Amino acid sequence: MASVTLRDIRKTYPGGFDAIKGIGFDIPDGQFCVLVGPSGCGKSTLLRMVAGLETVTSGEVDIGGRVVNHVEPADRDIAMVFQNYALYPHMTVYNNMAYGLRNRGMPKDEIDSRVREAAKTLELATMLDRKPRQLSGGQRQRVAMGRAIVRQPKVFLFDEPLSNLDAKLRVAMRVEIRKLQRRLKTTSIYVTHDQLEAMTLADILVVMNGGVVEQIGSPLDIYGKPRTTFVASFIGAPPMNLIRLRDDALSAIAAGTGAGILGVRPEDLVLADAAPEGGIALDLTVETIERVGAETYLYGSRTGREATVSSTPGELPEGEMIVRIPGLEAPTIGTQIRAVAPRDKLHLFSADGRTRIES
């Protein structure tokens, strides 16, 4: 096992495109770090630079106290699990897992011990003689993980490993990956665009956007105190409601703070006649109702406010609000409602959305 340190990492492609714009952070030994962000934000590029599959334009990748910028991927003592499994179709499960160890010249009895131990851990012990075509998608992904585990590397790297699985299987595999990482205590870096996946897996969450890091911290810290409106709208499902305070009656909430945007999460709004002291009240017209089982999402437009389309991924159109209420009972479409939230549930940001303001 080993810590991973990135120091001012930059990646510039021919033609001058800056994919990674100076990223640096530490991943302590044994921690599970998740890189999350929209497509094209640079998260997979950053992971591939740690793996040695992409060259580093400038900066340093340090694994276990050793700078590995010019070290070949096979010599970095890492193991990578890809989105497409990358199994050899003509080999059995056993041979797929053993292949890399044989190439390293490991003794046969040691290979057998490692493969069978990993197979037992991943509930593959009865499938070692099968070919990949005889396995389900989840089983194939476990074989890919087993191939990484038998290496006993210093660092695991996961590049969107669950993207090809159906929703139910993704949830099950997510739980298995987290349990496995806690058992093995191997430093891990995991890339995903799924913020729910990121929140449930991470010890350290790194939110990326446009080749830079927007925020680093524990999932709950980032959820509770997003640093920018991008983080506020990207982390959380459904996303945080954001209201621009230009010439708005709600401006009094942010008076003297310099804030230009007010945020409130859907679960922090409740239906009531009046706002708590110091809180807010929003008059909405219900336009859409989404029932998701134990709770219901009300999508409403603010009375007298015309919605405009947002260009930020995950952000609501301006003028549209979401209220999350328990149960299946909900107002009918077209109903006027009032949603209120207390002061301590409100978030304030600068007008450009780049700075969180503590009131």
Q: What's CA 292's distance to the chain center, in Å?
A: 22
Q: Which CATH class is domain 229-357?
A: mainly beta
Alpha-carbon gap, residue 255 to 257, rounded angstroms: 6
What average pLDDT does the segment 141-147 reach?
90
Window from 55-59, 116-120, 165-169, 192-196 with minimum mean pLDDT: 165-169
Residues recorded for the chain? 359
Closest CA to 140 of 79, 96, 90, 181: 96
β-bridge pairing 320-326 and 241-244: unpaired
Residue 347 tokens read as: 């978030």
Indicate the DSSP class of residue 127: G
Q: Do domains 4-224 and 229-357 have the same CATH topology?
A: no
Where residue 329 falls among pLDDT bands split at 50, 70, 90?
A: confident
pLDDT, tens only, 1-30: 799 999 999 999 999 999 999 999 999 999
pLDDT value at position 309? 36
Q: Which residue type occupies 191?
A: V
Residue 112 half-sphere exposure, CB side, CA atoms within 13 Å? 3
- In angstroms, the CA 320 to CA 243 distance is 9
Domain ranges of the chain: 4-224, 229-357
| Site of tokens 């430093």 | 187
Average pLDDT, stretch 274-282? 85
**How much is the average pLDDT of 70-96?**
92
**pLDDT beyond 50 at 278:** yes
For Cα atoms 134, 137, 138, give the angle at the middle one, nearest 5 degrees.
110
**CA pair distance 114, 120, nearest whole angstrom:** 10
Question: Given a cut of 70, is residue 305 above it in pLDDT?
Answer: no
Please give the pLDDT value at position 306.
43
Q: Which pLDDT does position 246 carry in this prediction? A: 76
- What's the confidence (pLDDT) of residue 314? 45
Task: Say whether pLDDT at 312 is over 60.
Answer: no
Burial grade of 278 (CB within 10 A; 0-12, 13-18, 19 or more) = exposed
Tell me the pTM. 0.89
> What local confidence, expressed as pLDDT, does residue 207 receive?
98
**DSSP string for residues in 59-85:** EEEEETTEE-TTS-GGGS-EEEE-TT-
Mean pLDDT, all residues of the chain: 90
What CATH number should be reported for the domain whose range is 4-224?
3.40.50.300
Which residue in the block uniquely carries the two structure tokens 């952070």? 25
Range of weakest confidence among 76-85, 227-236, 279-288, 316-325? 316-325
Percentage with pLDDT > 70 across the chain = 95
Q: With a cut of 80, say whether residue 291 has pLDDT above it.
A: yes
pLDDT in tens, 156-184: 999 998 887 888 888 888 888 898 899 88
- Report how far residue 149's alpha carbon sits from residue 272's, in angstroms, rounded to the nearest whole number: 53
Could you tell me the pLDDT band of residue 92, with boundaries at 50, 70 and 90? very high
pLDDT at 313: 43
Question: Can you tell me the mean pLDDT for 253-280?
Answer: 88
CA pair distance 270, 326, nearest whole angstrom: 10
Q: Which of 246-263 are b and which e, b meaning 16 or more Cβ less than 10 Å from the residue's Cβ?
A: eeeeeeebbeeeebbbbb
Residue 114 has pLDDT above 60, yes or no: yes
pLDDT band at 213 (very low <50, low <70, confident <90, very high): very high
Q: How far apart are CA 138 and CA 344, in angstroms?
A: 43
pLDDT at residue 33 in the model: 98
Better-scored residue on pLDDT, 123 or 32? 32
Give the mean model confidence (pLDDT) for residues 198-217: 96
